[in-house]
Structure 1
Amino acid sequence: MIKRIILYLFCLFPLIHSGQDFSALWEGHFSYYNIKDTSQGDNKIFAAAENAIFVFDTTTNEIEEITTVQGLSGEIISTIHYSETYGLLVIGYENGLMEIVFNSDDNVLSVVDILEKATISPDLKKINHFNEYNGLIYISTNYGISVYDLERLEFGDTYFIGDFGSQIPVRQTAIYQDFIYAACFGASGVKKALSTSNNLIDYQQWQTLIGGNWSAIESVNDKLYAVRGNRNIYSVINDSFISLINYNTLPVNVSGVNGFLIVTIADNVFVYDSNFNLLSQVSPTSEFQTKFTSATIDSEYIYIGTETLGVLKTPINNPTTFEEIHPQGPLLNNSFSLEAQNNNVWVSFGEYDLFYNPYPLNRRGFSHLNDEDWINTPFEDVFGAVSLNDIAINPFNNNQVFISSFFSGLLEVNDEIPTILYNQTNSSLESLIFPNNPNYVDIRVGPSVFDRNGLLWTVTSRVDSPLKSYNPSANQWQSYSFTDIIPSGLDDNLGFGDMVIGSDGTKWIASYEQGIIGFNENNGMALKKLKDEANNFPSNYTTALAIDNRNRLWIGTFRGLRVLYNTSNFFTDDNVQVEEIIILEDGTAKELLFQQFVSDIEVDGSNNKWVGTIGAGLFYFSSDGQETIFHFTQDNSPLPSDNISDVSIDSSQGVVYIATERGLVSFRAGGSSVSDDLENAYVYPNPVRPGFNIVDEKVKISGISDNVNIKITDIEGNLVAEAQSRTNLRYNGFNLEIAGGTAYWNGKNLANNIVASGVYLVMLSDLDTFETKVLKIMVVR
């Protein structure tokens, strides 16, 4: 179990908090291709991706992941260092946070001294480098140098070594002949001071050896080397700087490992002995074209961090063959849109800004999680389609997927392979038309949804006929004009953000300036918009829509949440109003999600609502919104960010997938749809370990049928809990509750006490078909 411990060292006595073990219900799906830094020790290679770590065991070739699920913060990592002496990994972040991962007891220690230091500007808190010496870590930052005691796990002094004690950027430090040397940017040069001095906080103890910008300094055995901003590397002898080589680009990483000097530039890694004799040089091959970011070595291999391929392993003596090392994961962390079903998740990374402007155009592929395997399709294979966003899976052919491009049209994917890009030349899709540049092609396809008949519906921004239907089996397109309610598609910039289809076939569309738009071609081409304060909208900028199991339309806006309770009379009633949800909070009536930017709304099998927000994390509400079941944030869950881009529910598994700009995570929430039988019923987590909060998070029994009786007994047959569909409904206070295709047990017995450790039997009986099934749960307390 990996826990998060917060250490506040501003107090006389440190305050330590044990974090929750999230691994029972959460899973991280981070990208491990862009490596920020590498380190090594104890036969392991440590690699820092953007906000996650993986550890490669060189003896077993096994890979371990350390993510927010195991206790990391989710912030952006800038550097790492592994201490063999203390058996711990030190992680530095761009915002000044430090975290320490322990080998011995699997703890994660979060150290917030730099992060919360009020006298240092936030833009100067980035941690650039760690240098371990005699039990201390010298921390190079953009304000100076701080010292951390690895033995006592506490901060020491901070050195502001600029003129008159000013804050200057220190890129790296090195210890050489009892002196500490600092490579400084900002024309502050290289400085040195006696490491054994008791008064290093006095800036006058620091001598400037040479001016200019210096990006690195490193000692190897009895030699000292430094890198200047002019791309030269120097040997430092008696404080004189002797130029050795001028690289074609500025080195991005310089480190000393096992008596060797390793210099990494974007397209080469150089390994030198302590006398600067070149022992090995590595360049990318045509098969492994990428940029290098860092490197380390063991006795036989060089391990190179890259921007797009994870870590590349190559022999020191013959660095011509490469092996990719990284965990499975999506192409990127900044996932933009998701679509999950039947143990599959599709992810896109395209984006547009708050005003539905796709520029600057991004060129990214897409990713697909198929069971436990990630299949990544790079941009080179998508026919040049940029700004890929919304995803629609054909319900009659799950191997056929359509991905919208907010510039290039609509991409069709069959059996993992992009097969055609629909645009103005081969479909009814239209480009916006600028009067002063009529030949410019810009096809902004946004939301796309399949209806129950297998027609794909899409909306395109800034054209007069934005709504299109496409029949994949017949290759037929049809267009629908909105000019009756919107005079100019180009000028009104609808900026369609979401679309859902009701049970009566009505297409509900969220727009940027026109509130919500309803359209039904089966009702005399009915077309209507609803917006403004007169209809109780807090903002015309609608961002998210969901139709729940009672045919109510839930509406997310830029400034709050609304519900259209009666959708059936939308086209006929001239006084249609959307309504806010009023809740009681400490006896005071308040509007639910007042003024909150709602980014997505999803309805699960229990008719409960998952609501993603920008800035406030993820909410899980009861079906009517009156009860907040969960509120997940970066502080109390593995969410790597409180900005939720998209949410998608795999109802067959009861798993909620949550996309943020810093990574994708999933939560086993239950709330799955009912199954036809009990064949695939299962229990999780199983076993229930001591760190799992069974009372609040509950054991889930998923994959159950519509009408079941559930009995839980101990191994001797004594009844512990019992529930029945349509009777023990969830959130009514029962110890064993049922909602949709999932039952929830809080670990309590009939006497309302938490059960003891042991094996418990779950006996399922379908009351309609008389099918039965018995499952076992191991509880360890």
Structure 2
Amino acid sequence: MFKKLVVFVVYIIPICLFAQDYSASWQGHFSYYNIKEVAQGNDKIYAASENAVFSLDTQTNQLEEINSVNGLSGETISTIYYSDAYELLVVGYDNGLIEIVFDNDENVLTIVDIIDKPTIPPTTKRINHFNGYNNLVYISTSYGISVFDLARLEFGDTYFIGDGGSQIQVNQTTIYQDYIYAACSGSNGIRRALTTNTNLIDFSNWEAVTTGNFTGIESQTDDLYAVRSDKRLFRVENGILTELSLYQDQPLDLRKVNENMIVTTRNQVFIYDSAFNLLSQVVVDTNNFPTELTSATIDDNFLYIGTKNFGVLKTELLNPVTFEEVHPDGPLLNIPFSLQAKSNGVWVTFGEYDLFYNPYPLNNRGISHLKGDQWINLPYNDVLEAKSLNRISVNPFKNNQVFISSFFSGLLEVNEETSIILYNETNSGLESLVLPNNPSYIDIRVGATTFDSNGVLWVTTGLVKNQLKSFDLSIKQWRSYSLGKIITDEFDNNGFADVVIDGNQTKWLASYDFGVIAFNENGSNSVKNISTEEENMPSKYVTALTLDKRNQLWIGTTKGVRVLYNTSNFFENNNVQVDEIIIEEDGIAKELLYQQYIMDIKVDGSNNKWIGTSDSGLFYFSSDGQKTIHHFTTDNSPLPSNSIRDISIDDVNGIVYIATTRGLVSFQSGSSGVLETIENAYAYPNPVRPGFDIVEKKVKIKDISENVNIKITDIEGNLVAEGQSRVNQRYSGYNLEIDGGTAYWNGKNLGDNVVASGVYLVMLSDLDTYETKVLKIMVVR
């Protein structure tokens, strides 16, 4: 491996990058049910889902995930290939990106030559197939063939093999009798050229074997086989095609493993010996595994089949009767839409509706729940046929009771991971929209929901007169409220992106075309909004709302962020104004997130703000927005996409869950929620052992209250470190930092030196209640 890396450094630093392993702070929560392709090598089976890969060690049955946390890009995977000779996995993508994962190496090599090629249109850069031959990999793409040298880790030539040197789609290549054969689309047939020819970039050195639309080609011992788009498989000999099989469905994958030829269709797998005699024909039991197949491979006496819904199915090659489902634990899909985190995990839906709150075409996608370390998935069949599931609310007084909005079917109640009831127009206060030309049509668009402090669920609905509902679970009573003073016609507002409730029980709603709407059923002036430029709103389309720990309302719109600092007198104030946040950048005053499309805003335990954008990744700001603590993108983090859909924070454990358009990841921020007292405060690790990197990993003091002073002294009473809430904030460079309900000590004293072995006292004082507590920490160096 060292030799290969040296060659890489010398030759190709300008075109390649090593991606970092982020597993210390990040965790990927990817779905591995929809397998695009399988490969085998080095006693492992590799399977690629949409944007992540897993491997199965056939000797130990150990599963290993390879995703954006390990260094993959998170882009859409199109094909994979494993090289036994060089012990590496090559991953190809729809956009032309190539990544190389080395065995027993934390780094992933990213190759952007094809992406950066200006002469190739972006729509034709897809990687269709890898064919390894000696030290080379022939890359079949939608423009032709490129060559990559695995020994030198660098690109060679690119062949445009169409008539007149035009770019044509090549689906697969193979080497047969010193020729490289290419199966081509668009009636370009099969083309070949001598591998010994040193001038294959000259299209005239490529000859047409036959015409037609060919999807696959593979050699086996003394024979050459090709698959045409009319479901036929041929033996190719001296330019003559002999039909061997007509399949019921189009072959999707053609490959040779050892001396066996494998043909995979969407419903069956056919395995042939070296003389093309049928050894085994595998039909998956659709009663237990209703799915389509994508590809298959062999290892020892077992067949491994990639599927669209069940990961990899393992069965005996010659006795394919029983099937074992193989894949890492994960959510149903890699397109999370909405999240709701709690201390033991997170709920996920896969929606969705579009920018204009249009749920069509309706989707049937189920829900997922990460409970502890296990994913519990409820497919569509288990959610009472509720479609377009989106927002999630967990009962704060009964965490196993969850309400999930459907933007077509109503409101789904789930108890203990079991769907209990679907509330609709027949059994609740929910209403269907009414179409004048089709009054019998039922469409109940439930969106953002939240619980108030009394355990009453507040529900928003679109395209109806009474847009706001309340559901008192204790007495099973529904009430309806109209926002007609603001929204005069039910079809004027398609839906609501968010609803939050403040300490005065005012409901704040993020509307589609009316800005922020405030509603309080107890007030005389119960409905009011803010939406105009005169009120300093950059857009009427509000996409996110959150109330921070100072009762300030943070507002996300399609054109930036605003803050309503005084929410208490909103109804009485006749001149309400929201404020932008002005920051200084390079000596110039600028508006924070100017003109950015904001997707979500969340507040953590230390009142800092997490803000997700539609195309610029994820921001983490200080409580007032003046300091950017982190700006995570696909370039500097495991985010699989810069398009953030939702954020949810587990305040107890300091975990930030981030839903993107290409999958779910989480970040261990460490910022936990504060407690009312310091009674249960504790420190860990304790004792601090010699192998622990105290400076980098730090000692944590957990479960502290909102306003504390912390002094750390040695056993003789000498002050070692001191910190105070709202002063010694995290990421500020102090040796003792406080972030919400957790304090961090880097083991250094006032002289900025790491302390010696000994016992240290942690003295906590709540500055509001005068409560005190003393902890002891043993440091062993």
Give the alignment's TM-score, normalised by structure 1.
0.94
Q: Secondary structure in 2 aligned to 1:465? A: coil
Question: 1:28 corresponds to which residue?
Answer: 28
1:349 deviates by 0.4
Matches within 5 A, 1:244-255: 244-255=244-255
Question: 2:326 corresponds to which residue?
Answer: 325
Question: 1:109 corresponds to which residue?
Answer: 109
Greater Cα shift, 270-279 or 447-456: 270-279
Change (3 A) 1:259 1:181: same
1:13 deviates by 6.0
1:702 deviates by 4.0
1:382 deviates by 1.2
- In structure 2, how many angstroms separate the alpha carbons of the residues matched to 1:664 and 1:455? 30
Question: 2:608 corresponds to which residue?
Answer: 608
Matches within 5 A, 1:623-642: 623-642=623-642
Q: Secondary structure in 1 aligned to 2:164? A: helix
Change (3 A) 1:111 1:18: closer
- In structure 1, how many angstroms separate the alpha carbons of the residues matched to 2:12 and 2:336? 42
Question: 1:48 corresponds to which residue?
Answer: 48
- In structure 1, how many angstroms separate the alpha carbons of the residues matched to 2:94 and 2:106? 24
Q: Secondary structure in 2 aligned to 1:164? A: helix
**Matched-pair contact (CA < 8 Å) for 1:7–1:112:** no
1:303 deviates by 0.4
Unaligned runs of 5+ in 2: none
Number of residues of Structure 1 aligned to a counterpart in Structure 2: 768
Q: Secondary structure in 1 aligned to 2:69? A: helix
Question: 2:193 corresponds to which residue?
Answer: 193
1:524 deviates by 3.0
1:381 deviates by 1.3
Change (3 A) 1:669 1:140: same
Matches within 5 A, 1:12-27: 14=14, 18-27=18-27
Change (3 A) 1:699 1:294: farther
Question: 2:337 corresponds to which residue?
Answer: 336
Q: Secondary structure in 2 aligned to 1:561? A: strand
What amino acid is the match of 1:375?
A: I
Residue deviations 1:400-457 (CA, integer Å, cap 9, x gap)? 0000000110000011100100000001101111111111111100000000100000
Residue deviations 1:191-226 (CA, integer Å, cap 9, x gap)? 011111111111111110000100000112222110
Change (3 A) 1:104 1:338: closer
Change (3 A) 1:53 1:480: same
What amino acid is the match of 1:625?
A: G
Question: 2:453 corresponds to which residue?
Answer: 452
1:484 deviates by 2.0
- In structure 2, how many angstroms separate the alpha carbons of the residues matched to 1:295 and 1:263? 8
Change (3 A) 1:688 1:194: farther
Matches within 5 A, 1:393-408: 393-408=394-409
Change (3 A) 1:137 1:190: same
- In structure 1, how many angstroms separate the alpha carbons of the residues matched to 2:138 and 2:9? 17
- In structure 2, how many angstroms separate the alpha carbons of the residues matched to 1:348 and 1:221? 49
Greater Cα shift, 275-284 or 544-553: 275-284
Change (3 A) 1:266 1:199: same
1:130 deviates by 0.4
Residue deviations 1:139-186 (CA, integer Å, cap 9, x gap)? 000000001111111111111100111100000000011110000001
Q: Secondary structure in 2 aligned to 1:271? A: strand
What amino acid is the match of 2:528?
A: K
**Matched-pair contact (CA < 8 Å) for 1:7–1:14:** no
Question: 2:620 corresponds to which residue?
Answer: 620
Question: 1:463 corresponds to which residue?
Answer: 464
Residue deviations 1:510-541 (CA, integer Å, cap 9, x gap)? 00110010001122361111111121111100
**Matched-pair contact (CA < 8 Å) for 2:17–2:111:** no
Q: Is it true that 1:512 corresponds to 2:547 in the alignment?
A: no
**Matched-pair contact (CA < 8 Å) for 1:449–1:456:** yes
Change (3 A) 1:292 1:752: same
Q: Secondary structure in 2 aligned to 1:551? A: coil
**Matched-pair contact (CA < 8 Å) for 2:12–2:154:** no
- In structure 2, how many angstroms separate the alpha carbons of the residues matched to 1:733 and 1:378? 47
What amino acid is the match of 1:405?
A: S
**Matched-pair contact (CA < 8 Å) for 1:350–1:364:** yes
- In structure 2, how many angstroms separate the alpha carbons of the residues matched to 1:516 and 1:112? 44
1:728 deviates by 3.0
Question: 2:596 corresponds to which residue?
Answer: 596
Q: Is it true that 1:268 corresponds to 2:268 in the alignment?
A: yes
**Matched-pair contact (CA < 8 Å) for 1:337–1:348:** yes
1:766 deviates by 3.8
Q: Secondary structure in 2 aligned to 1:86? A: coil
**Matched-pair contact (CA < 8 Å) for 2:19–2:110:** no
**Matched-pair contact (CA < 8 Å) for 2:160–2:201:** yes
- In structure 1, how many angstroms separate the alpha carbons of the residues matched to 2:121 and 2:375? 40
**Matched-pair contact (CA < 8 Å) for 1:7–1:16:** no
Residue deviations 1:42-85 (CA, integer Å, cap 9, x gap)? 11000111111111001111101111111110001000011111
Question: 2:284 corresponds to which residue?
Answer: 284
Question: 1:365 corresponds to which residue?
Answer: 366
Residue deviations 1:687-733 (CA, integer Å, cap 9, x gap)? 9999x9976x977554445546364989x999875435565343554
User: What is the alpha-carbon root mean square deviation over aligned residues?
Assistant: 2.7
Greater Cα shift, 728-737 or 192-201: 728-737
- In structure 2, how many angstroms separate the alpha carbons of the residues matched to 1:630 and 1:749? 27
What amino acid is the match of 1:598?
A: I
Change (3 A) 1:340 1:689: farther
1:481 deviates by 1.0
- In structure 2, how many angstroms separate the alpha carbons of the residues matched to 1:14 and 1:398? 52
- In structure 2, how many angstroms separate the alpha carbons of the residues matched to 1:47 and 1:182? 25
Change (3 A) 1:63 1:12: closer
What amino acid is the match of 1:363?
A: N
1:769 deviates by 5.9
1:473 deviates by 2.1
What amino acid is the match of 1:347?
A: V
Q: Is it true that 1:575 corresponds to 2:587 in the alignment?
A: no
What amino acid is the match of 2:373?
A: E
**Matched-pair contact (CA < 8 Å) for 1:451–1:501:** yes
1:295 deviates by 0.6
Give the alignment's TM-score, normalised by structure 2.
0.94
Change (3 A) 1:500 1:242: same
Change (3 A) 1:208 1:774: farther
**Matched-pair contact (CA < 8 Å) for 1:710–1:762:** no
Question: 1:153 corresponds to which residue?
Answer: 153
Question: 2:563 corresponds to which residue?
Answer: 563
Matches within 5 A, 1:437-586: 437-490=438-491, 492-524=492-524, 526-586=526-586
1:10 deviates by 12
What amino acid is the match of 1:359?
A: Y
- In structure 1, how many angstroms separate the alpha carbons of the residues matched to 2:354 and 2:132? 43
1:108 deviates by 0.8
- In structure 2, how many angstroms separate the alpha carbons of the residues matched to 1:278 and 1:8? 44
Matches within 5 A, 1:680-691: 681-682=683-684
What amino acid is the match of 2:535?
A: N
**Matched-pair contact (CA < 8 Å) for 1:6–1:16:** no
Matches within 5 A, 1:21-170: 21-170=21-170
Q: Secondary structure in 2 aligned to 1:534? A: helix
What amino acid is the match of 1:77?
A: I
Work out the percentage of aligned pairs sharing the same amino acid: 58
- In structure 2, how many angstroms separate the alpha carbons of the residues matched to 1:576 and 1:519? 15
**Matched-pair contact (CA < 8 Å) for 1:8–1:14:** no
Q: Is it true that 1:737 corresponds to 2:741 in the alignment?
A: no
Q: Secondary structure in 2 aligned to 1:68? A: coil
- In structure 1, how many angstroms separate the alpha carbons of the residues matched to 2:151 and 2:721? 50
**Matched-pair contact (CA < 8 Å) for 1:8–1:113:** no
- In structure 2, how many angstroms separate the alpha carbons of the residues matched to 1:6 and 1:687? 37
1:252 deviates by 1.1
Greater Cα shift, 391-400 or 466-475: 466-475
- In structure 1, how many angstroms separate the alpha carbons of the residues matched to 2:612 and 2:327? 30
- In structure 1, how many angstroms separate the alpha carbons of the residues matched to 2:262 and 2:777? 56
**Matched-pair contact (CA < 8 Å) for 1:169–1:185:** yes
Change (3 A) 1:693 1:542: farther
Greater Cα shift, 653-662 or 6-15: 6-15
Q: Secondary structure in 2 aligned to 1:330? A: coil
